[in-house]
Amino acid sequence: MKRIILIILLNCLYAQSKYPADTLLLSTDTPIIHRVALLPITLWQRISYNTDLLNCQFYPSCSNYGADAISKHGILRGGVIAAERITRCNPFAYNYHLELGKPFNEKDGRLIDPIKQQEHILSRHSPFIAATLSAIIPGAGRIYSGRTMDGVMGFLTFYLVGDAARFSIKEDRSITGPLFSAVATFVYIGEIYGAWRSAKYYQKK
């Protein structure tokens, strides 16, 4: 495992602006701590940009969206925003996009993220209640907001990552334990944030 992580770090440090996240990684304006968080994204882009099987359905893609969020808002807030997007990038996103009547990117037909459209909608659902529900049971707030399958996917994501963290800690894994625990925390807070956004913005006109 340590060898794999070393290979990943060396590969990402050899950035040449070939992939979008490399630009942020190489920028002198990007703090060192942010660059550490960008390393996994640059690795993912080296994989996803070289096969059509991993094309993201959103515009901007999840990796670019996450890299931008971390660059602008830092690891904590940016990581939460990225985690929320990844949960929404599920097989049901296309139907939700059609229901909301949102536009598609002209060049490739991808879904233009509602967050990037700056459109305010009066919602029948309370963002506070939605966030509270997801704080109690991850995914419940999205279900309350009418995004049932997003809620189910959010719950499953948190359960799987949380269980991986529990198992790693139980087995005294010095690397994967803290790693999965951190990811589970981001997913959990991302669910609360996602529930709030679902009630406030992801609603039909």
Fill in the DSSP letter of residue 148: H
pLDDT of residue 150: 96
pLDDT of residue 77: 95
pLDDT of residue 14: 53
Q: Which of 84, 81, 45, 83 is nearest to 63 (CA)?
A: 45
Question: Which residue type is seen at 141?
Answer: G
pLDDT of residue 145: 94
Question: Which residue type is seen at 102?
Answer: K
Q: What is the pTM of this model?
A: 0.85
Q: Which of 188, 189, 165 is nearest to 177 (CA)?
A: 165
Which of left, alpha, beta for 59 (phi over 0: left; psi -120 to 50: alpha)? beta
* Average pLDDT of the residues of the chain: 87
- Ranges of residues in the chain whose predicted pLDDT is under 70: 1-17, 116-122, 205
Contact 151, 140 (CB under 8 A): yes
Cα separation, 99 vs 203, whole angstroms: 9
